Amino acid sequence: MALLYGLLWRLLLILVHINRALVSWVRVRLRSWKGRLWERAMAALLLPLALAGFPDHQKKLNHNPDANANAVTRNRAASRRSRWLSDGRSLEKLPVHVGLLVAEEEPSYTDIANLVVWCMAVGISYVSVYDNHGIFRKNNSRMLEEVVRQQQDLLGVDGSKYNVEFLSNSCDKHQHYVVSCRPTVKVLSPEDGKQSIVQAAQQLCRAVENKERSSKDISVSMLDVLLRESKNFPDPELVVKFGPVDSTLGFLPWHIRLTEFISIPSHRNVSYEDLLDALQQYGACQQRLGQ
C-alpha cells in the first residue's frame, strides 16, 4: 500500500507541474497576441494621420532641393572668394597691372574670362587682354559678357562687388553699362602697340609743322607723356604669356621695359593654381632695374 501511495503522489506532482507549464505558456501567448493586436490597432489609427500630412511634406521636399543647392553654391562661392583673397594677401608683392598675352590660335573666351575674374579676386586692379590677331578687340562685347558670366559662376551673388570697368579701345571711355571705380579690364590689339608709337610721333611732327612746337622740344619724355595719356592705366608689372611662341608679339612695346614675363604652355583649361604659381614667381623675383 505504501508503495502505491508513493506512486500516486508522484503522479499528482507531475500533473501539477504540467498544469503550471500549460498555464504559463497560455499566458505568454495571450500577452503576445494582445500586444500584436494593440500594435495593429494603433497602426490602423495613426496611418490616416500620417497620410494626411504626406502631401505637405512632399511639397517641402520638392522645394528644398533648389534651396539646398543654392545654399551649397553660395557657400562654395564664399569659400572660393575667401581663399583667393587670402592668397592675394599672402603674396610677397602683388602686381597692380597684369597683362594676359595669348599667343595661340582660336582663343577661348571662357578661359580668359576665368583668368580675369581670378585676377580681380586676388586683388589686382588692372587686367589687359591681348592677342596679336586682334580677335578679342573685334569681339569686345563678347569678352565682357563672358567675364560677367564667369563672375556669377565663380564669385556667386557677391560677384557684384567685383564689377569690372571695361575701357573702350577707340577712345578709352567707359562703356555705359559698366560701374566705375572697379577693377579695370582693357582689351588690346597690335594697334595699341607699335601703331600707337607711330601715331604719337606723327602728332609731334604735325605740331612742329604747324609751329606749335619746336623740333628742339621733341624728346623721349615728351613721347612718353603722349603715349601714357593715350592709355590711362599703369605699365604692366607682370605679363602672363600663353602659347609656345617666345615673343611679346607687339604687346605694348613702350610700356614693358620693366615688365616681368612668365610663360604658361596654354590658356585652354588653365587653372587657378597656374595663375597663382605665376603670381608667386613674380612675387619672388628681384628686379634690379639695370643695376
Cα–Cα distance for residue pair 107/146, rounded to 1 Å: 13
| Predicted pLDDT of residue 227 | 67
pLDDT band, residue 97 (cuts 50/70/90)? very high
Q: Is 129 helix (H, G, I), strand (E, B) or coil?
A: strand
| Predicted pLDDT of residue 43 | 57
- The share of the chain scoring above pLDDT 70, in percent, equals 66
Between 274 and 137, the more confident residue is: 274
- The share of the chain scoring above pLDDT 90, in percent, equals 26
pLDDT digits over 24-79, tens only?
A: 665 656 555 555 655 565 556 555 544 455 455 455 545 555 555 556 566 777 77
Domain boundaries, the chain: 79-169+178-189+234-280
Give the burial string for 178-217 (b: 16+ CB within 10 Å, else e): beeebbbbbbbbbebbeebbeebeeebeebeeeeeeeeee
CATH code reported for the domain at 79-169+178-189+234-280:
3.40.1180.10
Least confident interval from 18-27, 62-71, 220-229:
62-71
| Predicted pLDDT of residue 44 | 60
CB 95 within 8 A of CB 282: yes
pLDDT band, residue 268 (cuts 50/70/90)? very high
pLDDT digits over 143-201, tens only?
A: 989 998 888 888 775 545 555 556 554 444 444 333 334 688 889 888 877 766 777 77
Phi, psi for 247 (deg, rounded to 5) = -160, 155
Q: What is the mean pLDDT of the chain?
A: 76
Q: Tell me the C-alpha to C-alpha distance, in Å, between residue 208 and each of 47, 201, 204, 218, 219.
A: 98, 11, 6, 9, 13
| Predicted pLDDT of residue 19 | 72
pLDDT band, residue 257 (cuts 50/70/90)? confident
pLDDT above 60 for 3? yes
Residue 184: name the closest of 130, 232, 251 by CA: 232
